[in-house]
Amino acid sequence: MDEVWWPLNGPATYGEDIPLFSHMDWYISSLKENRPHDLSHSGLQYDWSQIIDEIGGLSDLLVHPEFDGVDLRELVAERENIDPTRVVVTQGVTDAIHLALSAALPKDAKKVAVEVPAYAPVCHSARLIGLETVEFERIIDGNGAWRLDRDRLSEIIPEVDGIIFTPILNPTGFRILTDDLEWLVEATRMEGIPLLADEVYDDSMRESEDYSPLYLHGEHCVSMNSLTKVYGLGALRFGWIIANKEVAARAHTAFQTMNGMVAIPSARIAMAVWPHLDDTLEAINSRRKQSLPLLEELLQKHGIEWQAPPYGLFGAINVGCDGKRLIDGIGKEEGLLAVPGCMFHKDLNNWIRIAWSSDSRTFAKDLLVLDKVLSRRNEV
């Protein structure tokens, strides 16, 4: 049997049945190869060193800011213009998913619905805390839009205790359509179940009229976000939950049990970069403006039909051959790294995820190598 790379949904899992995170095993191994042309990062590649260097000496990292009277929740609350009691600070989004599921679902919860394609922890986290997961899809239609499978959702919503999805879908980069979001919010409200969103990519559209985090849509809605992707601070592990006050209080209690406090370096660095977060939004807009036309021209040259996502730093491309074999074989020979679509869903075997998260000059050089790789697709 071929190795399974995509997220695995199913019953609650323990011990030897804990599902492998094959995506991460493959990715870390590939990163260690130091391929010079890396188009794999869905998070912004941004230089924060100057600001971080201003934090001070090591002694500053030995005292937690909350001991000095700082409430880390207020960073998020002020940026979102909400009450701090609705905020829970976490160790990144995966931690937030665990905590939000534990806090938002009823005490007798047994099953949640998860969206696919997906990044594996979105699916696996629920199973690790004793929940069965069932999947629903976002499917590409004839116009190139990725739409919710409403028929499937209508069947499973009465059978589940909650739903978790990713508004800007990984690996496609496309945001959930407004009418699909409104339908999903109303369907879950009518059923009386919580709706949770991993919004780790959503701030890339923060300056647009379309920006509408899930927590704004109802008391049953929960948003989870972090500094990892849009803000280019993946190693920091600083995230947050925004929910109604009751769910937030329960999530905070769960956080204290599991983590105690946010790690001091993460807290200190988050405080330092927070006033400058909007700088990254300018960088994203600039890179899209400079890099996307080059990518579109290259794909057109190779006869690949593709529509760029309206926001963000990455998209998925159907290369017409086994994407993993292409990247592991010819990609490795040419020094190129991208993420195979099979890491996100079994039906994306012929896709790869490409990111324009680096500076435009680096991206232009990387495209020259992508051109070579695509020219050799017939060898796969």
The CATH number of residue 322's host domain is: 3.90.1150.10
Same domain as 189, residue 315: no
| Cβ count near 309 (within 10 Å) | 21
Same domain as 230, residue 167: yes
Same domain as 291, residue 263: no
In a domain, residue 53? The reply is: no
Burial class of residue 64 (count of CB atoms within 10 Å of its CB; 0-12, 13-18, 19+): middle
Looking at the structure of the chain, the number of domains it has is 2
- Which of 251, 276, 301 is the endpoint of a domain? 276
Same domain as 239, residue 130: yes
Alpha-carbon gap, residue 297 to 277, rounded angstroms: 31
pLDDT at residue 64 in the model: 82
Return the SS3 of 64.
coil
Residue 90, phi then psi, degrees to nearest 5: -130, 175
pLDDT at residue 1 in the model: 36
Q: What pLDDT tens digit does each residue of the chain (380 aa) get?
A: 367 899 999 999 999 999 999 999 999 999 999 999 999 999 999 999 999 888 866 666 777 888 788 999 999 999 999 999 999 999 999 999 999 999 999 999 999 999 999 999 999 999 999 999 999 999 888 777 899 999 999 999 999 999 999 999 999 999 999 999 999 999 999 999 999 999 999 999 999 999 999 999 999 999 999 999 999 998 899 999 999 999 999 999 999 999 999 998 899 999 999 999 999 999 999 999 999 999 999 999 999 999 999 999 999 999 999 999 999 999 999 999 999 999 999 999 999 999 999 999 999 999 999 999 999 999 99
**Amino acid in position 325:** R
| 50 alpha carbon, distance to own chain's centre | 26
In a domain, residue 55? The reply is: no
Which residues neighbour 250 within 8 Å (Cβ) at sequence distance 6 or greater? 102, 103, 104
Same domain as 302, residue 192: no
- Residue-range definition of the domain harbouring residue 99: 64-276
Same domain as 237, residue 108: yes
pLDDT at residue 151 in the model: 95
What is the residue-wise DSSP string for 101-140? HHHHS-TT--EEEEEES--HHHHHHHHHTT-EEEEEEEEE
Alpha-carbon gap, residue 270 to 233, rounded angstroms: 9
In a domain, residue 287? The reply is: yes
- This prediction has a pTM of 0.96
Same domain as 232, residue 137: yes
Return the SS3 of 337.
strand
Alpha-carbon gap, residue 248 to 196, rounded angstroms: 13
In a domain, residue 314? The reply is: yes
Q: Which contiguous run of DSSP H or E holds residue 351?
A: strand 351-355
Which residues neighbour 30 within 8 Å (Cβ) at sequence distance 6 or greater? 40, 327, 337
pLDDT at residue 54 in the model: 82
The residue with tokens 């905590």 is 99
Same domain as 314, residue 214: no
In a domain, residue 7? The reply is: no
Alpha-carbon gap, residue 154 to 15, rounded angstroms: 33
Give the residue among 205, 265, 213 at the shortest CA–CA distance from 240.
213
Same domain as 181, residue 310: no
- Which of 234, 254, 276 is the endpoint of a domain? 276
In a domain, residue 52? The reply is: no
Give the residue among 106, 19, 22, 50 at the shortest CA–CA distance from 339.
22
Same domain as 191, residue 78: yes
Q: Where are the alpha helices (DSSP H) in the chain?
A: 22-31, 49-53, 73-80, 93-104, 120-128, 150-156, 178-191, 245-258, 264-273, 277-301, 323-326, 332-334, 360-375
Q: Are 325 and 377 in contact (CB under 8 A)?
A: no
Alpha-carbon gap, residue 377 to 326, rounded angstroms: 7
- Which of 246, 276, 306 is the endpoint of a domain? 276
